């Protein structure tokens, strides 16, 4: 059975690429981690060094700021841990981060998207 059989024809869709263009999703480091996305609220929650981040991105340099980097590292590690326990896991919750509780979900790039629960 196809998903279309259950729900009918798709009325509209919103791709990750469109969301990136619209500023709803952000690449943390497109060259280093092309598979990693964060929602705008997570990105803005780490704005302590936004000017530095924008400078490096404008110049095409790889730079992860000191607020977002630990969040990303913790998310990657927790997701790997959860996937070992349950390979079918499609939602990981990480509490007590710099931006509060975040969810980590698989994305169409073969990686993950980090979001706040209210972003879902």
Q: Concatenated DSSP letters for 13-64?
A: ---HHHHHHHTSEEES-TTT-TTEEEEHHHHHHTGGGHHHHHHHHHTT----
The per-residue pLDDT for range 61-105, each reduced to its tens digit, is 545 567 788 888 899 999 999 989 998 888 999 999 888 999 999
DSSP bridge partners of 27 = 37
What are the residue boundaries of the structural domains of the chain, listed by start? 22-119
Q: What is the pTM of this model?
A: 0.75
The per-residue pLDDT for range 5-64, each reduced to its tens digit, is 777 787 778 888 899 999 999 988 888 888 999 999 998 888 655 556 566 666 655 455
């Amino acid at each position: 059975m196809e998903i279309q059989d259950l729900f009918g024809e798709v009325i509209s869709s919103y791709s990750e690429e469109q969301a990136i263009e619209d500023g709803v999703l952000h690449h943390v480091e497109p060259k280093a981690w092309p598979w990693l996305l964060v929602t705008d609220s997570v990105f803005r929650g780490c704005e302590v060094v936004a000017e530095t981040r924008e400078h490096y991105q404008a110049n095409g340099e790889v730079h992860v700021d000191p607020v977002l980097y630990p969040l990303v590292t913790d998310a990657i590690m927790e997701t790997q841990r959860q996937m070992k326990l349950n390979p079918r896991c499609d939602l990981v919750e990480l509490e007590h981060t710099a931006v509060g509780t975040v969810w980590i979900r698989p994305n169409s790039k073969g990686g993950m998207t980090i979001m706040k629960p209210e972003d879902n």
